[in-house]
Structure 1
Amino acid sequence: MAGAEDELDSGRDYVTFEMQGEMYALEMERVQEIIRMPEVVRVPLGPSALVGLANLRGRVLPVVSLRSCCGLAGREHDEATRVVVVESAGATLGFVVDRVAAVISVEDEQVESADSVQSTVRSDLLAAVLKAGDGRMTTVLDVEHLVATEFAALGRHTAGGSTASAAWSPGDQATEEESTDTLELVSFAVDGQEYALPIDRVQEIVQAPERVTAVPNAVRRVLGVMDLRGGLLPVVSLRSVFGLPVTELEPHNRIVVITVEREGRESLVGVVMDTVREVLRVPMELVGGLPHVVSGGGRRNEVEAVCRLEEGRRLVSVLSADALVDDRDLQAIDHVTAADSAAASTADAEKGRDDMTDDGRGDDELLVVFRLEGEEYCVDVDAVQEIIRVPEALVRVPKTLDFVEGLVNLRGAVLPVVDLRTRLGLRRLERDERQRIVVLIIGGVRTGFVVDSVAEVAKVAGGELEAAPELSAEQARVVARVANLPGQGRMLLVLEPSELLGPEQVALLAEEVHDTGAAA
């Protein structure tokens, strides 16, 4: 297996995936991560292909349906659905695909340019076609063109795509059509040899960070801990486990995040690999136990099986995830994690005291949080005049704007009422007891906006507020910012009250209020 790493370096690398039964590919150099389908926050007034916004380790990630971009019919997401995170033209986007197949290396002569190829998909999205020896073809999509045409505003206004934590999550699940008599693995290379781990133990694969914090009194195989989505991930060197020289972390190194089970509890551990190869689905008849003559050399618990591929020319050793970390490692890791958490809490408390200003807020903002179609929106508390129940009857205004519900008498004053769902392009909802009217002043006109319910007044730190990705001109004006709260598992869409109605609409409402008041 001395040539395993040489194979990785030959040709061009592509991530292949499936949509509507066809195989597609993206250039590996554009791919930052591949993750499971995350929870998303739907954004009103955005492009039709936009699924929503997701929280990716503290970053706001626009998630887009690649099926929609390619003119294919939509489908329900399932266990095999993945999001391929790509960077292009300064923008970072996550494209939803049906299933990720593998990372492949292709020789130049197997790549046919788009100029000489006809395709049923949109031709302006076709970059090339990969030709396999058995006659199969894979369409390579042009990410740059996709971002430049359909998400041009995002590319212009998003700060350069992050290169930290380049990762992918290969936890592909077998589809119903695939045989259950297969072993699903993620393979990787260490010191020129090929190993693999069961795919159900692999949570994700991330690029090695610039530094790993050492753990005091830990055994040699534990390099330290690293940050992973706000938590501490213990990092183990597989080279050290195998008694090989431990090298400095390099950009090509990958850390495979696995689950380790000990005494009924499950922990996440990162294992450093030289490089990651591919996703394997190996028929069980090609999987055998480790020969007895070598099973007593200290590897009995670490290597639990061997896969014989390519008629025996390629041997892949299957590792036991639980055997890679022992109890002493976990005890040392638990100790430093607890200490770090306590220190972080103390530092946050001290910082909060230092940042407080005379009004008691510091850099914090108070936001009135309300719900629309299951999502949480908010406006600055200073913009809210009051919050009232929806009256049983509203005065209907003929030939008015489609999102104007009518007029109500608010303590002797006429208040125009707008259905905020309709204004934001969401489906209209029948009236119920939970709905409220949030009263704002827009363009000098006091206006009420019907929301599904009011949740709370939330205090949000300034550092948790960021500009919303600009996915369309109207969306960027109305949804100006995002309150990203990963610690709470929430993302609040901050509305700009002054943009909820245009000048012409404000003028029309003012005229209706005046006419109704004069008639009364």
Structure 2
Amino acid sequence: MSIDDEQAVEDDNADYVTFDMAGERYAFPMNRVQEIIRMPAVVKVPLGPPSLEGLANLRGRVLPVVSLRMCCDMPAAEHDETTRVIVVDGGVPLGFVVDRVASVISIDPAAMESADAVQSTVNSDVLIGVIKLDGGAMTSVLDVDRLVGSQFDRLGGKSDGRDTGAAARIAAEPDDEGDSDDTLELVSFAVEGQEYALPIDQVQEIVQAPESVSHVPNAGSRVLGVIDLRGRLLPVVSMRRVFGLPITPLEPKNRIVVVSLDGGVVGVVMDTVREVLRVPHQLVAPLPNFVAGDGRKSEVESVCRLEEGKRLVSVLSVNRMFDSPEVRNELAEHQNREETPDMAEDQRGADDGRGDEELFVVFRLDEEEYAVDVDAVQEIIRVPEALIRVPKSYDFVEGLVNLRGTVLPVVDLRTRLGLERGERDERQRIVVLIIGGVRTGFIVDSVAEVARVGRHVLEPAPELSAEQARVVSRVANLPDQKRMLLLVQVDQLLAAEQARQLEEVVAEDDLVPA
């Protein structure tokens, strides 16, 4: 640990959340902890890292939950009434399962000793230091960033504008005492290539922009319309129009930043959301008076000088952005119009389009629900009593069947996804898909339904490993139904080489039609 690191520990981390694992006491810096919850129900994700316990639904958001014991190479333990999940800020929301949460403590900086002198069963790379308490007791302080990075390189390293990272920090209730007096936390975004930021305490959440926004009749120029946000109508304003820039069509990279105003909540469309910044106050300067007085530029209240001045980020004020009577009147008119029949009819008309829903075939594997696009499914058949075995093939290939005179290779989807192979029973089905030009059957535990899922509940799956990110690409989060569907990317179930080998097996086999 460098001198600068030690100084940062002393300056920023006076408060700690302490917890127990395997009979020893550990701690996280309080300013990295969002909240503490009981062990939730989790959806197990195939092809993830060994420490992953699954995905949980945290107030409508997907939360990866991992075993801190496994992250620290400790033996696993059964969960009980004292088990807790500490939700931390590690670039994305992440929950660490611990045996028991002890307390929140405040310490004198002199009680912190550098990690260099620590001898522990835990890898020293994940230690910040040790707190020496009265009576000789010691508490090891763990490094959140290194814990996340050691297990989830893809998860912790992503900063490509996806909403998961920034929204994670917003999900928890704000803790005024948790913010350091020396650091300003910001959500940065881009508009027309220029980087701006909003203080994180002014942002409620960040969501992906839909393909279209429902138009509000007679709305002003800045209000694009409304979207459905988990059952409530959210007025949407264009930041480009606030800045007097030309409007561009909504794209997948666009994000809507949801901010609080006096009298309501507003979504602001940004070109992209970049990252969450922690900027020392000495690098933040107020906007010069002669610039601030120039009309629209008054929305910028300060400027951050990053990377030795090579990167300038303009910090906006939500109140100044919407301070004009014109914008306030537009938003007020929307609130009054929200429940009128015309508005309801307009919203219903927007929901009738095919683009608002996707159709999936839902099936089960090992008690979890998966789904594939209905257009990718050729048919669904029963598993025959016997399959023709294929020698020297992949371990997940169950064999071949005769499907109306055509040779069909069959894959055990449990084995392909790294799950335990199950016993054959009457509920199992073969879902027939076309992958790489080869019609392939996949054995699943059961087929549940064909489900219509609104696009607004679809979100990218947390990228917990390279293979998982390819195969399980999205999640349909359905908190009202207490369900979470793992959406499988069909064309990633077999690599090109695997698909070619199956094609060769089919071509060489002289299976006689039954």
TM-score, normalised by the number of residues in structure 2: 0.63
Determine if contact 2:14/2:106 at 8 Å carries over to the other structure: yes
After superposition, the C-alpha distances for 1:266-296 in whole angstroms (9 at most, x for unaligned) are: xxxxxxxxxxxxxxxxxxxxxxxxxxxxxxx
Where do residues 203-352 of structure 1 align in structure 2 (5 Å cutoff)? 351-352=347-348
Choose from 141, 159, 163 the match for 2:169. Answer: 163
Letter of the 2:430 counterpart:
I
8 A Cα contact 2:471 2:493, kept in partner: yes
Counterpart for residue 491 of structure 2? 498
Q: CA 1:145/1:387 → structure 2, altered by over 3 Å: closer, same or farther?
A: same
Matching residue's letter, 1:465? L
Partner of 2:116: 115
Among residues 419, 427, 430, which one is paired with 1:426 in the alignment?
Answer: 419
Q: Which moved more, 1:342-351 or 1:446-455?
A: 342-351
What is the rounded CA distance, in whole Å, between the counterparts of 1:345 and 1:477 in structure 2?
Answer: 44
1:286-328 CA-partner distances (Å, limit 9, x unpaired): xxxxxxxxxxxxxxxxxxxxxxxxxxxxxxxxxxxxxxxxxxx
How many Å apart are 1:409 and its aligned residue? Answer: 0.5
Residue segments in structure 1 that go unaligned for 5+ positions in a row: 1-8, 169-187, 189-206, 212-228, 233-341
Match of 2:327 in 1: none
Change in Cα spacing, 1:164 to 1:346, as seen in structure 2 (3 Å) is farther
- Which position in structure 1 is the counterpart of 2:468? 475
Alignment check: 8 A CA contact 2:13 2:30 kept? no
Q: State the shift of 1:208 in Å.
A: 9.9
One-letter amino acid of the structure 1 residue matched with residue 492 of structure 2: E
Give CA deviations for 1:478-517 in whole Å, capped at 9, x if unaligned. Answer: 0010011111111000000000000111011001101114
Equivalent position SS for 2:356 = coil
Which residue in 1 is equivalent to 2:479?
486
The yes-or-no answer on 1:355 pairing with 2:351 is: yes
What residue identity is the alignment partner of 1:55?
N
Aligned to 1:138: 139
CA contact 2:112–2:130 (8 Å) conserved in 1: yes
- Please state how far the C-alpha of 1:92 moved relative to its aligned partner: 1.8
* Distance across 2 between alignment mates of 1:472 and 1:363: 30
Q: Helix, strand or coil for the counterpart of 1:164?
A: helix
> What is the identity percentage for the equivalent residue pairs of Structure 1 and Structure 2?
63
Structure whose alpha-carbon radius of gyration is higher: 1
Tell me, yes or no, if the aligned pair for 1:364 and 1:459 is still in contact at 8 Å: yes
Q: Distance in 1 between matches of 2:154 and 2:70?
A: 18
Instruction: Report deviation, 1:362.
Output: 3.1
Q: 1:137–1:381: structure 2 CA closer, same or farther, 3 Å change rule?
A: same
Change beyond 3 A, Cα 1:102–1:347: farther
Match of 2:358 in 1: 365
The correspondence for 2:440, drawn from 425, 442, 447, is 447
Q: Tell me if 1:95 matches 2:101.
A: no
Secondary structure at the counterpart of residue 389 of structure 2:
coil
Within a 5 Å distance, the mapping from 1:195-210 to structure 2 comes to none
Partner deviation per Cα, 1:211-231 (whole Å, 9 max, x = no partner):
9xxxxxxxxxxxxxxxxx979
Cα offset for 1:430?
1.1
Corresponding pairs, count = 348
Query: Which amino acid in 2 is paired with 1:140?
Result: V
Give the TM-score normalised by the residue count of structure 1.
0.63
Which ranges in structure 2 are unaligned for 5 or more consecutive residues? 1-10, 178-199, 205-228, 233-337
Distance in 1, matches of 2:429 and 2:417, equals: 17
| Residue equivalent to 1:68 | 70
The correspondence of residues 23-38 of structure 1 with structure 2, limited to 5 A, is: 23-38=25-40
CA distance in 1, matches of 2:341, 2:124: 54
1:414 pairs with 2:415: no
Q: Offset of 1:167 from its aligned partner? A: 4.8
Q: For residue 85 of structure 2, what is the aligned residue in structure 1?
A: 83
CA root-mean-square deviation: 3.0
- Residue equivalent to 2:154: 153
1:45 to 40, 44, 47: 47
Instruction: Deviation per CA, 1:139-188: give whole Å up to 9, x if none.
Output: 101111111222110122364343324259xxxxxxxxxxxxxxxxxxx9
Q: CA deviation at 1:353?
A: 3.1
The answer on whether the counterparts of 1:369 and 1:455 sit within 8 Å (CA) in structure 2 is yes
User: Quick one: structure 1 residues 444 and 120, their matched pair in 2 at CA, closer, same or farther if it must change by over 3 Å?
Assistant: same
Give, in whole Å, the separation in 1 of the partners of 2:150 and 2:477: 28
* Contact 2:459–2:476 under 8 Å retained in 1: yes
Q: Within 2, Cα distance between the matches of 1:86 and 1:349?
A: 42
SS in 2 for 1:46: coil
CA contact (8 A) 1:16 1:104 kept: yes
SS in 1 for 2:136: coil
1: distance between equivalents of 2:435 and 2:465? 22
